[in-house]
Amino acid sequence: MVALNAHGDVVPPGAGWTTDPYGAAIIDGWMYGRGVAVSKSDICSYAFALAALRDCGAALNGTVELHITYDEETGGEIGPAWLLAQGISKPDFAIAAGFSYGVVNAHNGCLHLEVTVQGKSAHAAQPATGADALEAATGILATLYASRRTLGALVSATPGIGSPQITVGLIEGGINTNVVPDRVTFRLDRRIIPDENPGAVETALTGLIEAEAAKYPGISVTIKRILLALPLVPLPGSERLTAIITSRASEIFGEPVTAKGAPLYTDARHYAAAGIPIVLYGAGPRSIELANAHRADERLDLADLPRATEVVALSLYDLLKPPA
C-alpha cells in the first residue's frame, strides 16, 4: 500500500501581498494565494493521480490511500503521527508533498522553544527598584543572534540541506510604557541538519540562554520545548521510490530530475519514524524561493500541475503494477 500525504492547513498570510491571499488570482500562468504551493496543489495532484489510476482500468498489485491532514504547520501530531500510531493506516511506502523538479529524500529537523524571561516590575521613575526583563531578553537575543552567525561553518554532507539556522519568530512582553517590564516571552526556531544530534542541539541552546540570563540580577528564565521534529534521512526502500519518480519526472518534464535534501521540515518524518520509506514529490515549483512559500505572494506555476500529476500517477503505476 502506498500513502500520499499532503496538508490543507496553512500559515497566516502576513503583510505585503499584491493580490488577495485567498483569492486564487491567476496572473501570467501563475496562481497566487496562501497554500497554493504548500501544499494544496499536492492535494489536487494526488487526488487526480488517484482518479487517473482508477479510471484507466490497469491491474494494480496494491492500493493507494490519500492522507490529507490539517496540522502539518503545527507538527503533525494529530494528523499523520496519530494515523500511524493508531494503526489506522499501515503503508509500505509513502510520498509526501514536495516540488515538481526534484525528489527530496532528506530534510532538516526542527526545535521550537518558548523562552520566558521573568523579572520584577517597577515604576519607570525608579527602574533600579525592578528587574528589567526586556533588558535581559535583549542580551539573550543578542547572544542567540551571535551564535547564528557561527552556524554557517557547519554544512551538511547531504546536498541541498546547507547549514543549521536559528530564527526568533515571536516576541511579546511588558505592561505599559511607564513600567519596567516584568516578563518577556519569545519563541525560537532552530533548524537541525541530519548531521547533528538533536538532543545535543537542545542542550547547547538551553545552556546558552541560561548562561546569558544569569548575568542579570533578579532575572530568571524558563525554557519550554514546543516542538522537536527529527531530521528525515533515507530509509532502506526509499531508493526504489526515488528511482521511479526521478525517472518518470525526467521523462515528463524533459530535463534531469534528481534527488536531494531540503532545508525545511515536514510530516514525512512521522512516516520515517514508523519505518516507512518515504520521499517528497508533488506539484510545487522548483524551490521554496520561487514559490514564495510562507511569505507574501505565494504562487504556483499552473503548467507544472498537470505534469506533476502525471508523474505521480505513472510512478504509482510503476510501484503497483503486477510482476511481468
Reply yes or no on whether the pLDDT at 196 is more than 90. Answer: yes
Among 198, 229, 260, the domain-final residue is 229
Close Cβ partners of 281 (under 8 Å, ≥ 6 residues apart) = 95, 98, 99, 100, 103, 104, 245, 249, 308, 311, 312, 315
pLDDT digits (tens, 9 = 90+) for 200-212: 999 999 999 999 9
pLDDT digits (tens, 9 = 90+) for 229-265: 999 999 999 999 999 999 999 999 999 999 999 999 9
Do 152 and 101 fall into the same domain?
no
Reply yes or no on whether the pLDDT at 324 is more than 80. Answer: no
Q: 116 pairs with which residues across the strands?
A: 185, 222
CA 315 to CA 293: how far, in whole Å? 26
For residue 48, which of 282, 298, 284 has the smallest C-alpha distance? 282
Do 277 and 128 fall into the same domain?
no
pLDDT digits (tens, 9 = 90+) for 20-35: 999 999 999 999 999 9
pLDDT-based confidence at residue 68 (cuts at 50, 70, 90): very high
Reply yes or no on whether the pLDDT at 323 is more than 90. Answer: no
Do 100 and 235 fall into the same domain?
yes
Do 115 and 183 fall into the same domain?
yes
Domain total of the chain: 2
CA 260 to CA 245: how far, in whole Å? 13
Do 67 and 18 fall into the same domain?
yes
Residues in the chain: 324
Burial class, 208, CB count within 10 angstroms (exposed 0-12 / middle 13-18 / buried 19+):
middle
Domain residues for the domain of 264 are: 2-107+231-320
Q: What is the CATH number of the domain that holds 182?
A: 3.30.70.360
pTM over 0.95: no
> For position 14, what pLDDT does the model report?
94
**Interior/surface letters 139-159, b for 16+ CB within 10 angstroms, e for the rest:** bbbebbeeebeebeeeebebe
Among 229, 246, 274, the domain-final residue is 229
**Contact criterion met (CB below 8 Å) for 246 and 62:** no
pLDDT digits (tens, 9 = 90+) for 177-190: 999 999 999 999 99
Reply yes or no on whether the pLDDT at 284 is more than 90. Answer: no
**Mean pLDDT across the stretch 292-304?**
95
Reply yes or no on whether the pLDDT at 288 is more than 90. Answer: no
For residue 240, which of 109, 103, 48 has the smallest C-alpha distance? 103
Do 61 and 82 fall into the same domain?
yes
Alpha-carbon distance values, 116 to 77, 80, 211, 223, 224 (Å): 24, 31, 14, 6, 8
Q: Which helix H or strand E contains 65, and what residues bound it?
A: strand 64-69
Do 139 and 100 fall into the same domain?
no
pLDDT digits (tens, 9 = 90+) for 90-104: 999 999 999 999 999
pLDDT-based confidence at residue 285 (cuts at 50, 70, 90): confident
pLDDT digits (tens, 9 = 90+) for 169-178: 999 999 999 9
Do 113 and 225 fall into the same domain?
yes
> For position 39, what pLDDT does the model report?
92
Q: What is the CATH number of the domain that holds 13?
A: 3.40.630.10
